[in-house]
Structure 1
Amino acid sequence: MSVFRREDSSASAGADQRVRVDRKTKNLTRRLEAGDVAVINHSDIDRVAAEALVACQPAAVLNAARSTSGRYPNMGPSIIVDAGITLIDDLGTDIMALKEFDKIRIEGDAVYNESGDLIAEGTRQTEATIETNLEEARAGLSVQIEAFAANTMEYLRRERDLLLDGVGVPHVKTVFQDRHALIVVRGYHFKEDLQSLKAYIREYRPLLIGVDGGADAILDEGLTPDMIIGDMDSVSDRALRCGAEIVVHAYRDGRAPGTIRLDDKGIDYVLFPATGTSEDVAMLMADELGAKIIVALGTHATLVEFLDKGRAGMASTFLTRLRVGSKLVDAKGVSQLYQPRISTKQAGLFVLIGIIAIITALAVTPAGQALFGVLDIYLSSFLSFLRSLIGLSPSGT
């Protein structure tokens, strides 16, 4: 992703700024506009959230929580600060009392209302403070790895039937058998990766599976998803009504808050109760139903990315990749290694077009016209010779 960068943040000048407030960063970025101040409560800002914030070009980001708690070296704060956006964190819950469109003033590490009253004080993040926080987080990373391993074993115990035997995968209309399946998650560099796969999609026509907001990413590229999988909290109504089959990822006990929205709109769906993430559910379904190749776009592939997602349940992603095995291919690998194939029919068509182009070029030149005249004489003589062999007169009688 190209990063928007400002030389000087306007929030530093002490001018009144309009705020946008939401406890969920992904909800806030849907309405955040350039020049607004984003007010969030996001511990350990991850890379996806940071890139979404930067894309909105806010004047500043005010975080009630610590942007790096020390659990692990997360990527988000450096992305925001490198983009020239003011980041003040650890402001406390008082900052969340601000209302949408309230005006505030930022001076140093402090935030004031329009009347000049102090709302909260926090810590302004710089490259130096972020590096210090990351060094401390790296020192404690071993603890997170141990917790990750424990979560992995717990997930295996709960979902061994699904992982090992595919028990619980629902019946769906979409046919996966022997087809390629492209699973699109609104994750790291998903837009660029999806654009780079256009030729692959045209040639192989894989099943297009959008994981929640990934369905909107597919539609934005002029394509139509075959299936949408997720808890339905970040997918648009446009995507839900595009004709794709809907699979709702439910909790293990069958609870699925997302079904309320679908029931209200009269949209049919299939339930898939399972622990883990929706992208894991999509991979397990594609594998169990016979997909030949599973291409993952925008998903998580490294340990730091698993931790960056901020969920203990990310252990499921690790085990899911072990389950899917050699079928799974990262989208970046496909875009770098894939070369469009030229069929015999296409090659023949190219040759024919080339011959026609040469004949047309010759026909409009004096030398070409002379050549065609000579060829016409030889052709007429040859035809006369053939007629004489079979006993026909020049008139054909």
Structure 2
Amino acid sequence: MRSPFRRPASRSARSTGVVRVDTRTKRLTKRLQPGEIAVIDHTDLDRVAAESLVERRPAAVLNAAPSVSGRYPNLGPGILIEAGIPLIDDLGPDIMRLHDGQRVEIHDGAVSHMGKTQVIAEGTLQSAESVDAAMEEAKAGLAVQLEAFAANTMEYMRGEWDLLLNGVGMPALRTQMSGKHVLVVVRGYSYKEDLKALRPYIREYRPIIIGVDGGADAVLEEGLKLHMVVGDMDSVSDKALTSGAEIIVHGYRDGRAPGLSRVEDLGVEHSVFSATGTSEDIAMLMADEAGAEIIVALGTHATLLEFLDKGRSGMSSTFLTRLKVGGRLIDAKGVSQLYRTRISGWWLVGLALAGLLALATAIMSTPGGQAFLGLSGVLWDDIINFFRALVGLSPQSPTV
């Protein structure tokens, strides 16, 4: 079975460019400029990371790790190839010794400093055909991943049953959500496009908007009011953190709270919510515990493949979270479909005016209508003359 990636194999021509290096792909995309070369260390490149890279339009992507390990059919490599971005895989740790701003030369799978013959690292230049073959082989790993996913789900349930069932450990919130719609925006699949599509819904219902890490910036970019930011603060901007929204730092059961020092340095008021799992999970759990009427999830993970593609063992927490809040949870794509075909109030007013104009035109074309128009003119003249007489002006001649 062929994959949907139909673009020809990556080009093998020699190319040069300035590198940007980071072990965290989502951190790298913030400073990566079009035409530069992205150097990453990302095993099983996922769809969200690949889409972020494509958006920045790099000249090439150099990966120290294998972009497809074979654990499961991850989607990222095919997205890069389809976009025509050369992907060189499994270059090893030496490639990560490069520094931002250095110029390198790429020829097939070999990378060297500009103007030098010594090779820094050599990997595999991926193509549409090689990615297709890797995806087929990786399907065999799904059974093992499914078993691991089930085991992780049971582990999470044992560790967090008091939070899931009784809400123990929830922070006190200043944002009031009881009886309201809550929109949870996550930096996930097509999240920016879905947020644009939800504008009619947001305009009508004015939901409480929670941005999860980088999702908060997408909310601000759309010119929308951000009520809360939740996450470990590794991919959210200072602008979002200082926007006046309530800040909830995601801490973990082992005592870590990676984003706490950053928030404290900014001097913004905040709370810490310590829980296993992902930041999108705790955002949904808080909305549910706060009495939200409806929780609209945008950019979150819904299918097993999406959970695996995220590449975290803790993604099973999202599965259980969805079971917990399922009665109130709606996917944003469904909401946008419902509102896409709605007619706005201005359209209804316009249609009514057009109908009245057509009716008036039809009436005026008849003898009775013309007589009515003449009588209406005389009556209008009498009204005008009455008011002119009140202010001492001479009456106007009747309209003929």
Say yes or no: TM over 0.5. yes
1:375 shift after superposition:
3.1
- What is the match of residue 40 of structure 2? 40
- 1:173-196, Cα deviation, whole Å (9 max, x unpaired): 111111110000111001110011
Partners of 1:105 and 1:348 in 2: CA distance: 61
**Aligned AA (2:44):** D
1:128 shift after superposition:
1.5
Over 3 Å counting, the alpha-carbon distance change for 1:106 and 1:350 in structure 2 is closer
- What is the match of residue 120 of structure 1? 121
Partners of 1:255 and 1:91 in 2: CA distance: 32
Q: Is the 8 A contact 1:148 1:315 kept in 2?
A: yes
1:371 shift after superposition:
3.9
Partners of 2:352 and 2:197 in 1: CA distance: 30
- What is the match of residue 260 of structure 1? 261
The DSSP-based 3-state class of the residue aligned with 1:38 is strand
Over 3 Å counting, the alpha-carbon distance change for 1:320 and 1:377 in structure 2 is same
1:85-124 alignment to 2 at 5 Å?
A: 85-114=85-114, 115-124=116-125
1:298-377 alignment to 2 at 5 Å?
A: 298-338=299-339, 340=342, 371-375=372-376
Over 3 Å counting, the alpha-carbon distance change for 1:296 and 1:306 in structure 2 is same
Moved more, 14-23 or 371-380: 371-380
1:93 shift after superposition:
0.4
**Aligned AA (1:258):** G
Q: Is the 8 A contact 2:285 2:325 kept in 1?
A: yes
Over 3 Å counting, the alpha-carbon distance change for 1:225 and 1:28 in structure 2 is same
1:255 shift after superposition:
3.0
1:225-236 alignment to 2 at 5 Å?
A: 225-236=226-237
1:260 shift after superposition:
1.0
**Aligned AA (1:16):** T
Q: Is the 8 A contact 2:214 2:237 kept in 1?
A: yes
Partners of 1:128 and 1:358 in 2: CA distance: 62
Q: Is the 8 A contact 2:64 2:92 kept in 1?
A: yes
Give the length in aligned residue pairs: 374
The DSSP-based 3-state class of the residue aligned with 1:13 is coil
Partners of 1:99 and 1:332 in 2: CA distance: 41
- What is the match of residue 183 of structure 2? 182
**Aligned AA (2:27):** N
Q: Is the 8 A contact 2:9 2:127 kept in 1?
A: no
Q: Is the 8 A contact 1:182 1:206 kept in 2?
A: yes
- What is the match of residue 198 of structure 1? 199
Partners of 1:349 and 1:58 in 2: CA distance: 48
Over 3 Å counting, the alpha-carbon distance change for 1:301 and 1:351 in structure 2 is closer
- What is the match of residue 49 of structure 2? 49
Partners of 2:71 and 2:83 in 1: CA distance: 24
Over 3 Å counting, the alpha-carbon distance change for 1:200 and 1:98 in structure 2 is same
Q: Is the 8 A contact 1:44 1:310 kept in 2?
A: yes
1:168 matches 2:173: no
1:372 shift after superposition:
3.2
**Aligned AA (1:313):** G
Over 3 Å counting, the alpha-carbon distance change for 1:348 and 1:218 in structure 2 is closer
**Aligned AA (2:233):** M
Partners of 2:243 and 2:324 in 1: CA distance: 31
1:370 shift after superposition:
6.3
- What is the match of residue 61 of structure 1? 61
Any stretches of 5+ residues in structure 1 without a counterpart? 382-397
**Aligned AA (1:134):** M
**Aligned AA (2:246):** E
Partners of 2:361 and 2:217 in 1: CA distance: 48
Over 3 Å counting, the alpha-carbon distance change for 1:104 and 1:353 in structure 2 is same
Partners of 2:303 and 2:157 in 1: CA distance: 19
Q: Is the 8 A contact 2:9 2:126 kept in 1?
A: no
- 1:28-74, Cα deviation, whole Å (9 max, x unpaired): 11111111111111000000000111111111111110000111110
Partners of 1:361 and 1:244 in 2: CA distance: 55
- 1:314-358, Cα deviation, whole Å (9 max, x unpaired): 000000000011211000001112364878xx8996688569868
**Aligned AA (2:332):** A
The DSSP-based 3-state class of the residue aligned with 2:327 is helix
Give the TM-score taking structure 1 as reference length: 0.87
Over 3 Å counting, the alpha-carbon distance change for 1:310 and 1:107 in structure 2 is same
The DSSP-based 3-state class of the residue aligned with 1:229 is strand
1:16-35 alignment to 2 at 5 Å?
A: 16-35=16-35
Q: Is the 8 A contact 1:18 1:36 kept in 2?
A: yes
1:257 shift after superposition:
2.5
Partners of 2:20 and 2:349 in 1: CA distance: 57
Q: Is the 8 A contact 1:6 1:85 kept in 2?
A: no
- What is the match of residue 385 of structure 2? none
**Aligned AA (1:151):** N
Give the TM-score taking structure 2 as reference length: 0.86
Partners of 2:132 and 2:348 in 1: CA distance: 60
